[in-house]
Amino acid sequence: MKRVRLLSALLLCCLHATLARADTLVVFAAASLTNALQDIGKDFEAKSGHTVKFSFAASSALARQIEAGAQAQVFLSADEQWMDYLAARKLIVPASRVDLLGNSLVLVTPADSRATVTLKPGFDLAGLLGDGRLATGDPAHVPVGKYAKDALTHLGVWAVAEPKLVRADSVRAALVLVERGEVPAGIVYATDAAVTPRVRIAASFPADSHAPITYPAALVAGQDTPAARAFIEALRGSQAAAVFKRYGFSIK
């Protein structure tokens, strides 16, 4: 009985020690990473004992929240610019920064649309939209919108697109507008189009029509905790890579 009680006490001590080391980790991430990171987060929680709380939005909105003092430990951006924005203000840990993923840009229509598009210089965007509008992120600050503007400018149709643009506050918000049939077309990432059966990819933009789509990750300055470092390492691991690939991201 003494041995049983001693073993129970040791197990209880180990449990308390594990709980004491457990942490709650807040991760700010681009909206396009929602599905993949939720899967990765569940696996990380099960293996580490830490709790992960995600905040998904446009990279611009999240970067500005961090600048305003939001207590996130990890930031994942959908472009280099907003990570550079924080780096210039000394709000990330420079040595922790890593380029994780790539993506591609696509033109989507509602699933029941039969529109066909060939994305070549001067393509008939006006004919595709008719009296409707084109949804994408706000090019003034949302990464997908900036990539879209670059691509449309490269193809010579930005002047047609600009007055028709629905400037959504994130790529997922733009996707929803197409899903609901509120617009005849939208520009999103290929990975976003892949998570819903309510849109179809009408065409893929040439890779050279816009800047490379890159997702950097970094620790937030002043929030460099063991749990945060462990999460960054998990994102770079083979299991996370398999999840990202399953959702259509390319690995850097």
Which amino acid is located at 119 in the chain?
A: L
pLDDT tens digits along 131-145: 999 999 999 999 999
- 32 has binding-site annotation: yes
| CA distance linking residue 152 with residue 148, whole number of Å | 6
| CA distance linking residue 161 with residue 187, whole number of Å | 11
- 157 has binding-site annotation: no
Q: What is the pLDDT of residue 129?
A: 97
pLDDT < 50 regions, the chain = 1-20
Counting Cβ atoms within 10 Å, is residue 199 exposed (0-12), middle (13-18) or buried (19+)?
buried
Domain coordinates of the chain in residue numbers? 2-102+213-251, 105-209
Q: What is the pLDDT of residue 16?
A: 40
The CATH architecture one would assign to domain 105-209 is: 3-Layer(aba) Sandwich (3.40)
Please determine, looking at this structure, whether the domain spanning 2-102+213-251 carries the CATH number 3.40.190.10: yes
pTM of the full structure: 0.90
Counting Cβ atoms within 10 Å, is residue 130 exposed (0-12), middle (13-18) or buried (19+)?
exposed
Q: What is the pLDDT of residue 21?
A: 58
| CA distance linking residue 107 with residue 161, whole number of Å | 13
- 171 has binding-site annotation: yes
Q: What is the pLDDT of residue 33?
A: 98
Token readout for 198 is: 């309510």
Token readout for 135 is: 């949804």
Q: What is the pLDDT of residue 7?
A: 40
